[in-house]
Every structure is written in C-alpha cells, then in structure tokens.
Structure 1
Amino acid sequence: MAPSSLLCAAASLWAKCIFSSTTSVARSTSFLPTSSICVKWLSTVVSAPPKRPLNAYMQYVLQQQPIMVRLHPEIRSVDVIRKIAQQWRTLSPAQKKPFEEASVKAREQFKVALQSYMAQLTPAQEAQQALDRKQKLAKRKAIRKKRELTSLGKPKRPRSPFNIYMSEHFEEARGATTQAKMKSLLQDWRNLFGHQKQVYTQLAEDDKIRYKNEIKSWEEHMVEIGREDLLREQTLSRKTRKTATKAKKKVVKRATGKAKMTKLKAKGSTTKTVTTSKKL
C-alpha cells in the first residue's frame, strides 16, 4: 500500500508542477505585445506608407479644436473650424512661428520615413503604387470637373423609365435598407405589364426632349463665354465637320474663281490676237 500511495502522490505532485508552470508561462506571455518581433521579421507585407505631415495651420487646428469644443459645446463642428480659422488669422508671426517650425520638422521626418518606405518596395509594388496614385488623381480630376459642371448649371441627363418608376415608389418600397428597397423595386418593375410600363416610357421620352433642348442652350452659352472645352464630344465632332465643310467650300469657291479668271484671261488674249490679225 505504501509504495502505491507514494507513487500516486508523486504523480499528483508532478501534474501540479506541470500545470503551474504552464499557467505561469501563459500569464507571462499575456503581457507581451500581440505582434512579436519574429513575426515582423518573417512577414513579407510592406508596412503602410507614411502619412503626409500637417501644415502649420492644421497643427493649430488640432491643438485648438478640443479647447473650442469644451468652451462652446453647443455649436456645430463647422462653426468650430470657422472660429479657429478666425483666430489663426489674428495671430501674430511670433505666435505662428512654433507651429511653422513644427511643420518644417514634420516635413523633414516625412522625407526620411518616405525614403525608408520606398527602399523596401519591390519593382512590382512600386508599379502598383504608381498605378494607385494615377487612379486617385484621375478620380480627383473627375470630381473637380463634376463640381465645375454643376456650378455652371449643366443640365441633368435624362432618366430611364425604371429610374422614374423608382423615384415615385421608393418611399413605400419593401426593405429596411436602400439596397433592399432597390432590389424589391426592380422585382416589381419586372412584374409590371406592358401598358403599365408605357406610362414611364413616355415620361422618359419627354425627359429626353427636355435634356436635348437644355443641353443645346447650355452648350451655346458655353461657346459664348469661351468654354468650348466643356462641350460634348459629339457636339465638337459635329462642329468640326461643319468647320471642315465650310473650309472645303471656300477652297472650292476659290479654285472655281481662279479657273474662271484664267478662262476669261485666256479668252481675252484670244480675242486680242484675232483683232490684231484682222487689222493686219
């Protein structure tokens, strides 16, 4: 009995030791950061590019925004930024100097960080970065152009029959989200009879006529103010064809006139020769 009890006691003691050691290891590792250094070394994913530094004004905004919100909790965020902008304009050069120096220092740190980031990129990643920048610039350019056209009053494009139907029945459509409502409306539109869709088809045709008249007047106004670069491609091509036709007519007219003059000169010289021979 004694040896067996001793053996059992030894086994339980050994199990306790193992359990306590694993628990202590787990507790000690719980304080380590989630991303280990070894994981970073083994990872092939390039870190995100450094963010561009803020200028002196934006640094001042970040400093003053929580103070302004605490002093004026009742005003909107837009009004908070306006108040901070007014304060910035009233600051003296000496008061602005710390923010400007901080901005210069941040730009220097950004240059170093950017060089370090670009050094770790592969050729494929550099090409992808260039493509992303190109797409972002194109998107910004499209947004700016759209805003400019809206400010210049460019007419809205004509709507399709389904768009007219959707705008009329969107409020009572089934679904909690916009996507669900549009899906239910599309299903209802497909279930409509032909004579029911004909109403919206006619409205769409009327909208096309409205757009055609409005866009013609708008483009004529753009030509008057010297913004022919905003005309549609089909209008430009039509205008180019008209210009080419006019130029061709002028060339033909000049050639015809020259031919007539040559013919008249030749006729005059022949008449003069006949008259001279008669005298002789």
Structure 2
Amino acid sequence: MAPYNLLTATASLMARSFSAFYTNTPARCTSIVCSANINPVKYLTSQTNGPPKRPLNGYMRYVVQQKPAVISENPEIKLVDVVRKLAQQWRMMSPEQKQPFQQASVQAMKQFKVDLQKYQAQLSPAQLQQQVLEKRQRRAKRKAIRKKKELNILGKPKRCRSPFNIYMSEHFQEARGNTTQAKLKSLLDDWRNLFSHQKQVYIQLAEDDKIRYKNEIKSWEDHMVDIGREDLVRELTQRKIKKTQRKTTKKKTAAKSVKKATPTQKSKTSSKAKPSASAKTV
C-alpha cells in the first residue's frame, strides 16, 4: 500500500499546482494590462479608513515614472544619484514636456479636495478637533527637526553627558542582550551595582565634560550674537545681553546729561565770580 499512497499524493500535488497556475495566470495578465493602461491618482501615503493624502506634484510624478528606467539602465547606481539625474533632466525639460505631469497633478488635486470634503463631512466635531491637534503636533515636529538641522550646520556644541551616559557609551558593545532596549536595561543594572569608587571615575569625566560644554557654548553664543542670530541664544544669555544693553544705554544717557549740564554750570560760576571782583576793586 505504500507505493500506491505515494503515487496518489504526488498526483494530487501536481493537480493542485496546475490548478493554481491556471487560476493565477489570467489575474496576473489582467493586472499588468490595467496598470499599463490606467494611470491612477498617486498619493504620498495611503491609509485605510483614513483621510486622503495630498497627491504628488508634477516633478514627483516624473520621478516615479522615470526612476525604474534609470535604474534598469544603471543597476549599480545609487538612489541619490538617480534622484540627482532626474532632477537635472527635469530642469532641462521644456514647459511643453512638463505640461502632462503638471496637468495630471492639477486634476489629482481637484479630486483630492473633493475626497477631503467628503471625508470631513463624515467626522464629528471632536474628531475634527483631534485632527487639528495632530496637524499642529506634526508641524511643531517638522519645525523642531529643521531647527536641529540648522543648529548642526551652525556648529552648536553637543550637550554635556551624564556619568551614566559616559559609562553606557564605553560598555555598550559588550552589553548583554540582543536588542537595544535589553542592552540599555542590562547596562542600567550594572551601573546600579557599581561601587562608589568605580562611579567616581565617570563622575569626574562628566564634570570635565560640563566645563567643556560651558566654554564651547559661551564662545558659540558670542559668535551668534556677532552675526545677528540672538534668537538661537539661550534665555539666560539673552537676559544677560539685555542687562548689558540697558547698562550701556544708561551710561550713554548719563554722559549726555553731564555734557549738557556743564555749560550752564560754567555760566553760573562766572556770574557769581563777577560781583566779587567788582567789590574788590571798589
């Protein structure tokens, strides 16, 4: 019975494979034809049961269309070089060549506005308020990221590290655990189990790092004030700058008042001295 069972199993397996092949091939062909003939509206991101996302502009549509061709021609090219090459091609294109992509973007934007109105009509006031709050949070996050990039470009010094941060950077590679969270937990446990004289080394390194940061941030803030970027300076230093400016203005006003008062004082003294001289002569 064993050979008969083996033959039946192989036959059933072959039948399943053939049936799957014949059932899947038409669907694949139809999907290719549909994707080749129809150019759907592409959004930046898509969410199920979520708000419609803003569609791609003309340039991004050109990049999405031409990127596979550039990659197929140059398989070893990097993604950054692909985008740079496509951007250069887009700049060299004429307005007539750009018009189909831009027109498709305009049509997609119209459809996006209609979909957005339909979606917002289904929401309650609480959900609309939640959307506004999430939008503000995303905007604040983008603003913080841009500010951080700007500070890095301007060369703002890094903050001083704590003793545990210094210990963690030195022992992170040999820490126990497969994930980053597990390694951090094991390092925290090891740090708590250290003796006081062992921690003192890292405490001293942290104090030295504080001095380093204090000197570097002071020179950096002075440079920012010199180039007219007082908005990047800390609040404490801004208060100090305002105090110094007030003192200088007070000194200037006092000096001006003294200069104005000196001629009147001289006239008073001369008028007092003249009668005394005449009395002496009499």
* Same fold flag (TM > 0.5): yes
Give the AA of the match of 1:158.
C
Change (3 A) 1:96 1:250: closer
Match in the other structure for 2:110: 108
CA distance in structure 2 between the aligned counterparts of 1:258 and 1:90, rounded to whole angstroms? 68
1:207-230 CA-partner distances (Å, limit 9, x unpaired)? 111111111221222223222222
Change (3 A) 1:68 1:260: closer
Match in the other structure for 1:53: 55
Q: CA deviation at 1:171?
A: 0.5
Match in the other structure for 1:81: 83
Alignment partner for residue 244 of structure 2, among 239, 242, 245? 242
Query: Based on CA coordinates, which of the two structures has the bigger radius of gyration?
Result: 1
CA distance in structure 1 between the aligned counterparts of 2:85 and 2:134, rounded to whole angstroms? 36
Change (3 A) 1:81 1:263: closer
TM-score w.r.t. length of structure 2: 0.74
1:74 is paired with a residue whose SS is coil
Q: CA deviation at 1:260?
A: 6.2
Change (3 A) 1:92 1:266: closer
Between the aligned residues of both structures, percent identity stands at: 63
Q: CA deviation at 1:267?
A: 4.1
TM-score w.r.t. length of structure 1: 0.75
2:158 is paired with a residue whose SS is coil
Alignment partner for residue 65 of structure 1, among 49, 59, 67? 67
Q: CA deviation at 1:192?
A: 0.9
CA distance in structure 2 between the aligned counterparts of 1:110 and 1:172, rounded to whole angstroms? 52
CA distance in structure 2 between the aligned counterparts of 1:245 and 1:178, rounded to whole angstroms? 53
Alignment partner for residue 215 of structure 1, among 211, 217, 220? 217
1:235-258 CA-partner distances (Å, limit 9, x unpaired)? 111111111122233344445566
Q: CA deviation at 1:101?
A: 1.1
1:78-118 CA-partner distances (Å, limit 9, x unpaired)? 33323333333343333222111111111111121222222
Give the total of aligned pairs.
235
Change (3 A) 1:77 1:258: closer
1:179 is paired with a residue whose SS is helix
Change (3 A) 1:274 1:192: same
Q: CA deviation at 1:128?
A: 1.7
> Quick check: 257-266 or 134-143, which moved more?
257-266
Asked which structure has the greater RCO (Cα within 8 Å, sep 6+), the reply is 1
Alignment partner for residue 173 of structure 1, among 175, 183, 194? 175
CA distance in structure 2 between the aligned counterparts of 1:90 and 1:253, rounded to whole angstroms? 64
Q: How does 1:107-256 map to 2 (within 5 A)?
A: 107-255=109-257
Change (3 A) 1:263 1:95: closer
1:156 is paired with a residue whose SS is coil
Structure 1 vs Structure 2 CA RMSD: 2.5
1:42-84 CA-partner distances (Å, limit 9, x unpaired)? xxxx942111011111111121223333333333333332333
CA distance in structure 2 between the aligned counterparts of 1:273 and 1:119, rounded to whole angstroms? 96
Change (3 A) 1:187 1:256: same
Q: Which structure 2 residue ranges, 5 or more long, are not aligned?
A: 1-47
> Quick check: 225-234 or 50-59, which moved more?
225-234
